[in-house]
Structure 1
Amino acid sequence: MEVSMVVSLVVVCGAYAFFTYLSQHDSYVEVYEGEKSVVLPCQVFWLPEVTKVVWSRFALNPTTVHQHQHKDELHVQNQHYSGRTSSSPYALKTGDHSLTLKDPYLCDSGVYTCTVYSKGNMMGKKTVQLQVKELPPLFTRLLQPVVPLTGLLALLLVICLLFYFVYNHIPVSRVEVEDGAPLVMLPFQTETPLPADVTVEWSRCAPEPMIVHEYRNGHLIRQDKFYSNRTTLERHRVTIGDFSLTLRNPCFRDSATYICTVYKNRDIHVQKVVRLKFKGSWWSWFLGREY
């Protein structure tokens, strides 16, 4: 009896010490957007029989960023992190429950919680403050001794597109959105007569080319993963020449030049350019200070 009481006391004290240790040792991690990955630390080397670890971000719904129980359980995670998180397959044995987050975005900034369980009981948690910072202004990076070839190509692409917009007189709209806004509308209405069954393609040309939303016959047929589940093109509006695009949960990385192209059989009938500015982003400053 005395031995069992001692063991119980050790377990309780150990759990209390674990709670105290984690609460007093929160971490702060900084990374620039554009880095390949960032590691959120969570090491517990001495606690026995850890059976499950859950990384959460309570500002999201669902809150689960990553869950590991004998293996990574990605089916329960928030889709914003799909394909971007991983942990060591030996984490439960080694005690290193650090999370690797690939392709960090500005909107990934926030507080992450690492919660450790043992046989169904929560043993404690640790918080990590992640700050994803904007890249330095483009002109500063161009002054560096070595300029990546991709950066030069992107700059050349922007210049060519700007000349193209000017000399071809494509209508240009400017939209500004604040941090934390639930959605933003990229407007495009036309009274130009159009044939039936046109294809509507929203794309972005800078700073990172992507297919944002491609629509045909009432269906989304193609888009880049970054915009998955974040865009809507109203079918009933398309029929009356309103091709405005709704973009949900906008983040700094969405600051870009967008082009809506309406075409059929490779014949372009009408186009519209929308420059989306996220307040305070250096990319918007570069695109034009006339915002």
Structure 2
Amino acid sequence: MMSVGTSASLLWAALCLWVLVSASGGQRTITAEPGQNVTLTCRAPSSSENRTVEWTRPGLDPDYVFVYRNKKFDPTNQHPSFKERVELKDSQMKDGDVSVTLKNVTFTDTGIYECRVAQGQTKAPELINITHLRVSADITAEPGQNVTLTCRAPSSSEIRAVEWTRPGLDPDHVFVYRNNQPDPTNQHPSFKERVELKDSQMKDGDVSVTLKNVTFTDTGTYECRVLQSQSKAPELTNITHLTVNSAGHTGGHSGAEGDQGGHVGLAVGLLVLAVLTAAVVSLTYRKLRGQKKQSSAPADKAGLCDV
């Protein structure tokens, strides 16, 4: 029979192994805002020499984000969108650290990134780590405002279709553009006649939309997908989190007016409370005074009789 001490030791060892496996492999998700620098983490499985390091993003052509080969960076097949934007976090790759830094991220950097390493004892690069990068924008608005949901096409190629969706709705379409015109066929009823392209010409790939007269129910996550001439299906290009605040608003007033209304309401409430309190005190005093007069009346009569 296994002792309690032995069981505890095995449990601790299993926990440590799980932590090590989780830290060195598997898939992780990173959320960033446009303009930030992010680190795509990856560590070689052993201390052997790293002959080749490949960071790729499936779906791109070519799909290379960063390649280290023959003891130096190899830009030969790097995708143009990553030129001069990716570098090793540690050029010495100490302790097998082959993480890379991706600079000045944009919405089009959203996607899956895979890290592969070829070491002295391996013949081909082996998949070590998968990182899901989401580049999203956070917008805060007040009821009644118009907001811009920003999105830009990945390239300058012809834009065949644009889809703005909000997952969780049925249907989930917020705005659809295809065949050179808006297509309201499957648009969710709550967005009818409230969404339009910011630039109807979509210059420089700008497929941002304006959402008019926002309400509390517009709070949520909005996804932008673009179909271009070289793509087979609309590609996720941008994610925007919209929050429509409710604090400080009464009957659709602005924040300042709402605060002012709140202060006035508080003052009126306190005044009414003070008046009611005074009335109660006055009534109580009168009642006690009346009772005192009634209790003292017999004594007065008795005194008169004695005179």
So what's the TM-score if we normalise by structure 1? 0.41
So what's the TM-score if we normalise by structure 2? 0.40
